[in-house]
């Protein structure tokens, strides 16, 4: 994805490890509040405009509070709006470091991401690039840039924060028509996946990645083998795959008799992977994959949703 560069951080918040994968734990809400307010004060002093996004915006607008199971803070800006430049983002990262934050910058064709961490709480400040009057939010959901031109100010945590305007339209586009209904991990991902499939992308984006049930050695660079809970190959499992750092569109195929689908990836980066067969369905939001590797999927009954980096590289 984005020239093979990760845009989403590898998790280092409070974690529980199972079957070689990561399960995210909720953030400390008191620390999160202090961190968000400190970030606001820093960016305000620098004259940089930001808005609440993703789950942080959803909680602020819908509940007037953080979502109790949220695992990080999400804020955003748009490069080219409100005077923001890439140089100013880099300068701001230095200021965050001066205030005791760990700040890591990751760049790709969709955004410039600053991963911030302090006192064990993480914040993702993503600065989006405008592409044909849109920005693309994780995991590549198309949002009109017009929603960020005249931001709306709301009261949250006893202070003022900006959100996309109107926030209800932003949340509908980001989470689907049922955004007002609280849903934990496993309850909202399908709606987001559907929104990804509806995005209007440049025609060339469909040629960036490939997914098929039959191997084409001249094109495919890796594979995914789907196993059931008894480690048996699953024939006919529906597998969906989308990059999160480059516009590829959502690709879907079914596993062959040996349980395989084959892919060609645009680069080493983060991907969304969905696997469905019978009554089983899991959407993996954060899978770091790279070309030239064969992966294995196996469900975990103890963690049916909310996993990250759950795919295992097959031994050579």
Q: What is the pLDDT of residues 217-265, one digit of tens each?
A: 988 999 999 999 999 999 999 999 999 988 888 899 999 999 999 999 9
**Range(s) of the chain covered by CATH 3.30.460.10:** 2-182
Q: How confident is the model at residue 20 (pLDDT cuts 50, 70, 90)?
A: low
Q: Is the pLDDT of residue 12 over 60?
A: no
Would you tell me which CATH number, out of the four given (3.30.460.10, 3.30.70.60, 3.40.190.10, 3.40.47.10), belongs to the domain 2-182? 3.30.460.10
CATH homologous superfamily of 203-313: Carboxypeptidase-like, regulatory domain (2.60.40.1120)
Per-residue pLDDT at 86: 98
**Range(s) of the chain covered by CATH 2.60.40.1120:** 203-313
pTM: 0.84
Q: What is the pLDDT of residues 159-201, one digit of tens each?
A: 999 999 999 999 999 998 999 999 876 667 777 777 777 776 7
DSSP string, the chain: -GGG---SPPP-SSEEEETTEEEE-PPPHHHHHHHHHHHHHHHHHHT---EE-HHHHHIIIIISS--TT--SEEEEEETTSTT--HHHHHHHHHHHHHTT-EEEEEE-SSEEEEEEEETTEEEEEEEEPPBTTEEEETTTEEEEGGGGTSPEEEEETTEEEEE-SSHHHHHHHHH-TTTTS---TTTSHHHHHHHHHH----GGGGGS-EEESS--TTT--EEEEEB-TTS-B-TT-EEEEEESSS----EEEE--TTSEEEEE-SSSEEEEEEEEETTEEEEEEEEEE-TT-EEEE---TT-SSSEES--EEPP-
């Amino acid at each position: 994805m984005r020239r093979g560069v990760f845009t989403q951080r590898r998790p280092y918040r409070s974690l529980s490890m199972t079957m070689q994968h990561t399960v995210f734990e909720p953030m400390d809400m008191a620390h999160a509040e202090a961190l968000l307010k400190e970030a606001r004060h820093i960016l305000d002093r620098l004259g940089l405009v930001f808005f609440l996004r993703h789950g942080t915006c959803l909680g602020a607008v819908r509940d007037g509070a953080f979502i109790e199971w949220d695992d990080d803070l999400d804020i955003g800006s748009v490069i080219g709006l409100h005077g923001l430049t890439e140089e100013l983002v880099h300068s701001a990262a230095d200021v965050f470091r001066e205030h005791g934050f760990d700040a890591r910058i990751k760049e790709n064709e969709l955004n410039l991401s600053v991963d911030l961490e302090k006192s064990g709480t993480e914040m993702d400040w993503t600065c989006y690039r405008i592409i044909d009057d849109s920005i693309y939010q994780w995991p590549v959901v198309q949002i009109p840039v017009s929603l960020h031109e005249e931001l709306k100010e709301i009261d949250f945590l006893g202070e003022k924060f900006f959100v996309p305007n109107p926030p209800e339209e932003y949340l509908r586009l980001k989470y689907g028509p049922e955004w007002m209904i609280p849903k934990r991990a496993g309850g909202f991902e399908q709606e987001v996946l559907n929104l990804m499939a509806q995005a209007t992308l440049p025609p060339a984006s469909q040629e960036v990645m490939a997914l098929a049930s039959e191997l084409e050695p001249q094109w495919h660079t890796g594979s995914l083998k789907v196993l059931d809970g008894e480690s048996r190959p699953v024939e006919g499992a529906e597998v969906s795959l989308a990059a999160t750092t480059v516009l590829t569109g959502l690709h879907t195929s079914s596993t062959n008799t040996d349980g395989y689908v084959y892919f060609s990836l645009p680069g080493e980066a983060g991907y969304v992977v969905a696997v469905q067969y019978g009554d089983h369905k899991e959407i993996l939001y954060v899978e770091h994959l790279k070309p030239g590797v064969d992966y294995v999927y196996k469900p975990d009954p103890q963690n049916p949703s909310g996993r990250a980096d759950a795919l295992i590289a097959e031994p050579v």
